[in-house]
Amino acid sequence: MTAMRTKTSRDKVRKLYAFIGENLYFSRPDLHIQGESTNATLLLSFLTALTGGKALVIGEPGLGKTTAAEYVCALVYGLPLGIIWSSAVSGHPEQTEEKIVGRPNLGKLNQGEEVVIWSYFARLPVKIVDEINRLPETKQSLILDGVERGKWEYLNQGLVNDEFCLFATANYQDQGTNTLVPPLLDRFDVVVESKHPGANIAALIGQATCRDVVLHHRASEEAFFEALRRDGNGTPASLEKAHQGFAKVLRQHYGLETLSRAERQAVRHEMAALEVDLAANAFLRMTLAELSFCCKYGQKRSNEVCDEGCHYTGYLCYTVNNCASNRLPGSIYRYARALAWWLGSERVEVEHVRSILPYALAHRTQWRESYLLLRERERRYEPLLLHAARHATAEVFRRFHEQRHEIMQALGAAAHILAGEEFMSPQGDHPLYAEIRRDLGLE
């Protein structure tokens, strides 16, 4: 029964992906995994919507950063475009908490009662922040908690989203943009660039006149607005009827089957149930060790620079300034599981982790300037940070490929030693061995 449902849900989602790819978001495939070629922006948008993740979509103006997120969310969550547009928050310096989170019900306030009217952004499961880097640094903290936990607070009242996904778009630096603060950046699971599709595909985009009409259904939108108004702080569950209405429209007009709330939950359970195989686990440990280890200072710290000529110069710990956050493995597991589910794999394998890593690393890692200078001059098809992250991933993977057996044996031996058995203590040159020895109390 589960297998059947998985197949049905996956089939549905893949049809939605194909529909968007063929009709709404024209792009080049740029992610190749297990014999499949997909567009990374579109695929990661789908995985974000399905897992309830957080994606930062970067790119030049007009290259479909917001559009991709809107189409994906409209179909995965069964929301007409008009509703998604109404709930989106645009990043600008004058943005306020009242516009983002909620405002007082003035009528009730006149009667001495404090009641919050939550914004559509806070209430709906789809959250899109357009041009997030136009929000000043001080106002970025307004959405920190909400972005992290789906928990919104205003006037001592709270709203918790039990299902949500977040898309934020950001242009490259110009006069009107601000720096995204590291705590906010770290809360995004992945970063992906919405790329130019190339001259030939771009020429097709101009010819398509009905792109916004497809998912823009006035009657359905009225039904949603009515439901949202009627139940002042209604939860998504109370919108079920409106969802069903829009789903029917999509089915009748385009033959598309959207996912119900229950189906989305089931998909998440299926993804979470996918086992991560030992090799993928070991590969992730190797990566985390390289991104957090420092033989001199105990761990990486962004305010401490490691010395020239360190024994571990050849590893990533020498090329990064900051320490990998604890959100990083969570993001990688979540998206690697989602990718494995998407591909119909029975478990999460090294290839899934390896494919996701660059997107999870790029925005979180502060690279050494010398490393970036080297990467900057290389031929590439991605923005520098993503290219650097991909290069770093390839380096770690090469080391993993060479030492896979020894690393896994060392981890196995460590498990036995910690259980009180007599085993040779793991020895090796990689930072992971040093981390293992630390955990065993040998250093």
Partner 1 sequence: MVNPFQEFFAYTTSARELPLDHILARRDRVLQRLLQSYQAFVEEESTQLVWVVEQGALSRAYATAVDALKGVEFTVEDVEDMCVELDGANGIATPLGAPSGLFIAAMCNHVQNRDIVLNLRNLVRRWPFLGYRLPRGRHLQLEGDAGDFVGALLEGGEVTVTGNAGNYAGIGMRSGLLRIGYSSGKHTAEGMRGGTIRVQGRIAGMGRVKRGTVYEGNQRVFPAEKEGEWTGSR
| Spatial contact of 300 and 280, defined as CB atoms under 8 Å apart | no
329 binds partner 1 (CB under 8 A): no
What's the CA gap between 13 and 24, in Å, rounded?
15
Q: Using CB under 8 A as the criterion, what x/- string covers residues 270-309 for binding partner 1?
A: --------x--xx---------------------------
Of 261 and 437, nearer to partner 1 (C-beta) is: 437
Footprint of partner 1 on 73-102 (CB under 8 A): none
Smallest gap from residue 408 Cβ to partner 1 (A): 6
Beta-strand pair 102-104/116-118: antiparallel
Question: Which structure tokens are listed for 194?
Answer: 């919405």
Q: Which two tokens stand for residue 359?
A: 């997107």
The nearer residue to partner 1, 157 or 425, going by C-beta atoms, is: 425
Q: Smaller CB distance to partner 1: residue 100 or 436?
A: 436
> Which residue in 203, 394, 418, 442 binds partner 1 (CB under 8 A)?
418
Relative to beta strand 157-160, strand 151-154 is antiparallel
Is 401 one of the binding residues for partner 1 (CB under 8 A)?
A: no
CB atoms within 10 A of CB 392: 24
Does residue 423 interact with partner 1 by CB under 8 A? no
* Minimum gap (Å) between residue 274 Cβ and partner 1: 14
Binder among 57, 414, 432, 434 for partner 1 (CB under 8 A): 414
Q: Is 409 in the site for partner 1 (CB under 8 A)?
A: yes
Other CB atoms within a 10 A radius of the CB of residue 53 amount to 22
- Nearest distance from residue 278's CB to partner 1, in Å? 6
The region of 185-193, 289-297, 312-320, 408-416 touching partner 1 under the rule CB under 8 A is: 408-416
> If binding is defined by CB under 8 A, does position 411 make contact with partner 1?
yes
Dig out the tokens for 315 from the structure: 């590893």
Which H/E stretch holds residue 66?
A: helix 65-77
Q: Which is nearer to partner 1, 157 or 409 (CB)?
A: 409
Q: Does 439 bind partner 1 (CB under 8 A)?
A: yes
37 and 368 in contact (C-beta within 8 Å)?
A: no
Give yes or no for a contact between 224 and 79, defined as CB atoms under 8 angstroms apart. Answer: yes
CB-based contact 181:137 (threshold 8 Å): yes
Q: Is 405 in the site for partner 1 (CB under 8 A)?
A: yes
- The Cα-based distances of 186 to 55, 180, 366 in angstroms read 11, 10, 11
User: Which parts of this chain interact with partner 1 (CB under 8 A)?
Assistant: 278, 281-282, 405, 408-409, 411-412, 414-416, 418-419, 436, 439
